[in-house]
Amino acid sequence: MTDVMLEARDLVKRYDGVLALDRVSMEVRRGEVLGFLGPNGAGKSTTMKILTCFTAPTEGTAKVHGFDILSDSLGVRRSIGYLPESTALYHDMLVLEYLEWAAEMRGIKGADVRKRLKAVVEETGLGDVINKEIRALSKGFRQRVGLAQALIHEPPILILDEPMSGLDPNQAVEIRDLIKDIGKLRTVILSTHNLAEVQVACNRVLIISKGRIVADDTPAGLQDRAGKSRCVFSLLKSSDANFASQVESALAAIGGTERVRRLPSDEGEVSFEVFPKGSDDLRPALFKLAVDKGYTLVGLRREGQNLEQVFRELTTGTTPAAEKAAA
């Protein structure tokens, strides 16, 4: 039995000529809790709708639990539990009535209905509200009801689209902890724009921006990336038209440098961000370079990044130093 529970290959989606997804590929393995992260409009919900067979891709394909989304959508739907961003609940029904209806829609019959109801009510903590009307519940408990309907048929894969949207901080923590517990038994894809959610609940993160995957890492890997301290290196300009390019090449050649980015600068200066391969402080090497090359150094500082800054850099292509220089 394969460990790959979901795989997508080169998914493309166009809406009236607008490219919403641009060659999105991913694999999700058994037991993973995957955070699918991106800003609003990045393509998260479009991807979720394709994977759950709500819409077809313009190009590309995907398999969910071995079932092709184009040729066996019924097999896909049987294999997943789906909680959309706007949970479809019937507010005039009791929680019990709604879950019984959800079980019937999933083809669960007879004694199995009571068995599954008991299991999902216990799993989602709905025991105290099972005989209340859904309209009387808080947003947090409504989300629990939505999770319960997604779990009623014991799916091996759970797809959650912005499950903490609109919740207050306490409710969000409760739902996040619930998702962590659910993830111990199932493969979970958690689509969100909230970095804190994936840090706590997920063991792997995909970041999408403008319809393309821009990062695939663990939360710890993102944290390591955030922990790197880059240096901002500023010099007086030279009359040589190739000066900036020469400096950039010299910076890239320094041992321990991972990459160099030229920044927008004042007319009389040229500035660069220099990122280390590890956690080393590059300032001594940068200062030595300035001395050896005879550069006129006007600024040299070390700056750390937090996770929000890493996310912003990945999804917008800008950094705090670049924004400051452009301001």
Backbone angles phi, psi at 254, to 5 degrees: -70, 130
pLDDT band at 327 (very low <50, low <70, confident <90, very high): very low
Q: Over 90: is that where the pLDDT of 172 sits? A: no
Domains of the chain plus CATH, in order, are 4-217 (3.40.50.300), 225-326 (3.30.70.1340)
Q: Over 90: is that where the pLDDT of 114 sits? A: yes
Cβ atoms of 139 and 172 within 8 Å: the answer is no
Torsion angle of C-alpha atoms 306, 309, 313, 316, degrees rounded to 10? 160
- The Cα 117–Cα 109 span in angstroms is 11
- The Cα 197–Cα 194 span in angstroms is 6
Cβ atoms of 284 and 267 within 8 Å: the answer is no
pLDDT band at 325 (very low <50, low <70, confident <90, very high): very low
**22, two tokens:** 């641009």
pLDDT at 226: 66
Q: What ranges in the chain are assigned the alpha helix state H?
A: 44-51, 73-79, 95-105, 111-124, 139-151, 169-182, 195-201, 219-227, 243-252, 283-293, 307-316, 320-326
pLDDT at 321: 47
pLDDT at 52: 93
CA 154, 98, 77, 84 torsion-angle sign: negative
pLDDT tens-digit series, residues 4-34: 999 999 999 999 989 999 999 999 999 899 9
Backbone angles phi, psi at 302, to 5 degrees: -110, 135
pLDDT at 318: 56
Least confident of 48-52, 104-108, 147-151, 160-164: 160-164
Report DSSP letters for 136-179, one per residue.
GS-HHHHHHHHHHHHHTT--SEEEEESTTTT--HHHHHHHHHHH
- Strand 80-83 relative to strand 157-161, pairing: parallel
Q: Over 80: is that where the pLDDT of 62 sits? A: yes
- The Cα 37–Cα 49 span in angstroms is 15
pLDDT tens-digit series, residues 216-255: 998 878 777 666 678 999 999 998 989 999 999 999 999 9
Least confident of 25-39, 151-165, 181-195: 181-195
pLDDT at 319: 53
pLDDT at 326: 46
* pTM exceeding 0.85: no
- The Cα 274–Cα 271 span in angstroms is 10
**124, two tokens:** 């989602």
pLDDT band at 183 (very low <50, low <70, confident <90, very high): confident
pLDDT at 222: 79
Average pLDDT over residues 33-59: 92
Mean pLDDT of the chain: 89
More confident residue, 133 or 200: 133
User: How many degrees, rounded to 5, is the angle at CA 151 between CA 145 and CA 156?
Assistant: 155
Query: 46: helix, coil or strand?
Result: helix
Give percent of the chain with pLDDT exceeding 70: 94
Indicate the burial class of 83 (C-beta count within 10 angstroms; 0-12, 13-18, 19 or more): buried
One-letter amino acid of 170? N
Q: Over 90: is that where the pLDDT of 324 sits? A: no
Average pLDDT over residues 35-44: 90
pLDDT tens-digit series, residues 242-299: 999 999 999 999 999 999 999 987 778 999 999 888 778 899 999 999 999 999 999 9
